[in-house]
Amino acid sequence: MTLTAKITLHPELRIAQIDRRIYGSFIEHLGRAVYGGIYEPGHPTANADGFRQDVLELVRAANVPLVRYPGGNFVSGYNWLDGVGPRSARPRRLELAWRTIETNQVGVNEFAAWSKQAGAEPLMAVNLGTAGPEEARSLVEYCNFPDGSYWSDLRRSHGVAEPHNIKTWCLGNEMDGPWQICHKTAEEYGRVACETAKVMKWVDPSIELVACGSSGRGMPTFPDWERIVLEHTYEHVEYISLHTYYGNRDGNTLHFLAMSRDMDRFISTVANTCDLIGAKLRSKKKINLSFDEWNVWFHSNEADRQIEPWQEAPPQLEDIYTMEDALLVGCMLITLLKHADRVKIACLAQLVNVIAPIMTVKGGGSWRQTIYYPYMQAANFGQGAALDLHASSPLYHDTGFDAVPYFEGVATWDEAPGSLVVFAVNRNLGEPLALEGDARQFANYQVVEHLVLAHPDLKATNTLDHQPVVPRSSDSAQLVDGKLFATLPPASWNVIRMKKKAGD
């Protein structure tokens, strides 16, 4: 018997307008993300700034709107002054988060220049580990104040006349984690985050701030961490962060593909915690969510344990992603879009070489990992409003997640150009799903294309020379008399693009 999922496409099922920053990513001074990733002077494609053009092209093609920088765990030991001024005078430091040598050849000015070339805005993190309010407010002044003050004039003396005008800033990174340099309790972090926020905004009142939430839903301090941190920072920040990584550690693919359900619960709990504190404080303000680290991360764990410390840019966290990883990334993208009313920023962690959709070879080529495709397609086609689908789907039972639907999906609708897109994953590993959609409200639309990412071997990966996991066109989708029909192959990521008919 054919398995069938039913959906409804209706403008009134609008969740929210999508903030484009939901398709953000992340570059940390870690492994080969910066050195040998985005920056490789002497590479055949490097421009005058030392940035690899082949990498920039892949980043631009993914339409990445925002990139978090410079960490991650790295930021909690980082002195931003090490990375500005003449390169020859920049110190080589022992970098304690990842136990490498940091050469500081790239710093805030280089990153701002790279972001501009990539067409993305920076999401800048400040150090609230070894540093504090003083270093943070100086950095805001260095980056955003036009001129005529100590730090802005220092920037100008470094050859950067115009301010970077960085709008959004993270108040530290994963301060709840015992692995963090200068880890803090929620009380300690809440106090310093509040005072740092005040001085940063006194320098530039136009900036927006992200307070550190939990570094995972499984942290013992979750969700009290959020409650306490927000009690201190509620009126001083705009967002609270969430981080999560998943892995298929026991080889149970159906369980692995259900892990986006955990992300869904995490988002709902944090949103509810924000609203609880807002209510307690009698505040009119709503705190939104910045899911500024999310991805699959586990393949490289063992290899990383073998890496000798104190090397420059060693190959750390170089997960090679499979077809099934791309499916979970697809489910996670759908989950973020289903929460577009609260999740305004999200960062696929990370962007190049380090748990990344883009990989490079030193002195050589670059390629797209499997996970590049759902990310790139969502960022390019998922515009306008997110629409809930009121989906009904056959279920499977998972010991961790109970009843899990085979169908995971969301739609996006950009009214003015008349663009309607269904993003869907079929979690069933052996059977196709017949998709039936009530699309009477979009009867004047037609299918433009149905793109499918699938591979018979769920462990298939892409390499520089061999790219077996790439999207392919399917002719299964039709929109006839207000009814959408499509076949979602087993274990597939699907993008069904529809457009308003000309003249309608």
Among 350, 369, 383, 393, binds ligand AHR (CB under 6 A): 350
Q: How far apart are CA 170 and CA 422, in angstroms?
A: 32
When asked if residue 290 is in the footprint of ligand AHR (CB under 6 A), the reply is no
Site for ligand AHR contains 72 (CB under 6 A): yes
Closest residue by Cα to residue 220 from 176, 272, 259, 267? 176
Residue 40 vs 174, nearer CB to ligand AHR: 174
Catalytic residue among 95, 121, 293, 324: 293
- Among the listed residues 102, 121, 174, 238, the single catalytic one is 174
Three-class HEC string of 337-401? HHCCCCEEEEEECCCECCCCCEEECCCCCEEECCCHHHHHHHHHHCCCEEECCCCECCEEEECCC
Contacts of 241 (CB under 8 A, 6+ apart): 170, 210, 211, 212, 213, 289, 290, 291, 292, 293
Q: Which residues in 5-64 contact ligand AHR (CB under 6 A)? A: 28
Please tell me whether residue 292 binds ligand AHR under the rule CB under 6 A: no
Buried (b) or exposed (e) across 236-247, using 16+ Cβ within 10 A? Answer: bbbbbbbbbbbb
- Does position 333 bind ligand AHR by CB under 6 A? no
Q: In the range 156-195, which residues lie near ligand AHR by CB under 6 A?
A: 173-174
Report CA-CA distances (Å) from 182 to 31, 138, 175, 179. Answer: 22, 20, 8, 9
The answer to whether 302 is a known catalytic residue is no
Residue nearer to ligand AHR on the CB measure, 152 or 244: 244
Q: Are 404 and 427 in contact (CB under 8 A)?
A: yes
DSSP 3-state of 329: helix
Q: Which stretch binds ligand AHR (CB under 6 A): 67-75, 116-124, 263-271, 273-281?
A: 67-75
For residues 43 and 363, the answer to whether their CB atoms sit within 8 Å is: yes
> Which stretch, 70-78, 450-458, 477-485, 493-501, contacts ligand AHR (CB under 6 A)?
70-78
Name which of 174 and 324 has its Cβ closer to ligand AHR: 174
- At closest approach, how far in Å is the CB of 177 from ligand AHR? 7
Other C-beta atoms closer than 10 Å to the C-beta of 216 total 17
- Residue 81: CB minimum distance to ligand AHR, A: 21
If binding is defined by CB under 6 A, does position 293 make contact with ligand AHR? Answer: yes
Q: Which is nearer to ligand AHR, 65 or 72 (CB)?
A: 72
Largest CA distance in the chain: 74
Beta-carbon contacts of 456 under 8 Å, excluding residues fewer than 6 positions away, are none
**Residues near ligand AHR (CB under 6 A), total:** 10
Q: Is 349 in the site for ligand AHR (CB under 6 A)?
A: yes
- Choose the binding region for ligand AHR from 65-73, 144-152, 416-424, 425-433 (rule: CB under 6 A): 65-73
- The minimum distance between CB 105 and ligand AHR, in angstroms, equals 20
State which residue, 10 or 243, has the beta carbon closest to ligand AHR.
Answer: 243
We find the least distance from the C-beta atom of residue 340 to ligand AHR, in angstroms, to be 23
Region near ligand AHR per CB under 6 A, out of 66-74, 158-166, 322-330, 400-408: 66-74
Binds ligand AHR (CB under 6 A): choice among 36, 71, 83, 213? 71
Min CB(339)–ligand AHR separation in Å: 21
- Return the number of the residue (349 or 435) whose C-beta is nearest ligand AHR: 349
Query: Is residue 262 a contact point for ligand AHR (CB under 6 A)?
Result: no
Radius of gyration of the chain (CA): 23
CB of 350 to ligand AHR, least distance (A): 6
22: Cβ–Cβ under 8 A, 6 or more apart, which residues? 336, 337, 340, 343, 344, 345, 346
How many residues belong to the chain? Answer: 504
- Cβ 344 to ligand AHR, closest distance in Å? 19
Residue 102 in the binding site for ligand AHR (CB under 6 A): no
Considering only 25, 73, 288, 428, the residue that binds ligand AHR (CB under 6 A) is: 73
Q: Is beta strand 66-69 parallel, antiparallel or unpaired with respect to 93-95?
A: unpaired
Q: Does 241 bind ligand AHR (CB under 6 A)?
A: no
Nearer CB in complex with ligand AHR: 76/360: 76
Residue nearer to ligand AHR on the CB measure, 25 or 383:
25
Closest CA to 290 of 244, 221, 334, 232: 244
Q: Which is nearer to ligand AHR, 294 or 493 (CB)?
A: 294
244 closest CA partner among 280, 274, 270: 270
3-state secondary structure of 309: coil
For 161, the 3-state DSSP assignment is: coil
Task: Name residues contacting ligand AHR, limited to 206-225 (CB under 6 A).
Answer: 215
What is the rounded end-to-end Cα distance, in angstroms, of the chain?
Answer: 38
Q: Which residues, listed in sequence order, are joined to residue 494 by a DSSP beta bridge?
A: 424, 452
Q: Contact region for ligand AHR (CB under 6 A) — 71-79, 150-158, 163-171, 457-465?
A: 71-79
Nearest-angstrom CA–CA distance, 207 and 67: 16
Tokens found for residue 67: 């990139």
Could you confirm whether 57 is annotated as catalytic? no
In the complex with ligand AHR, the residue whose CB is nearer, 15 or 181, is 181
Least Cβ distance, residue 133 to ligand AHR (angstroms): 21
Distance CA 461, CA 470 (A): 10
Please give the residue ranges that form the binding site for ligand AHR (CB under 6 A). Answer: 28, 71-73, 173-174, 215, 293, 349-350
Which amino acids are annotated catalytic?
174, 293
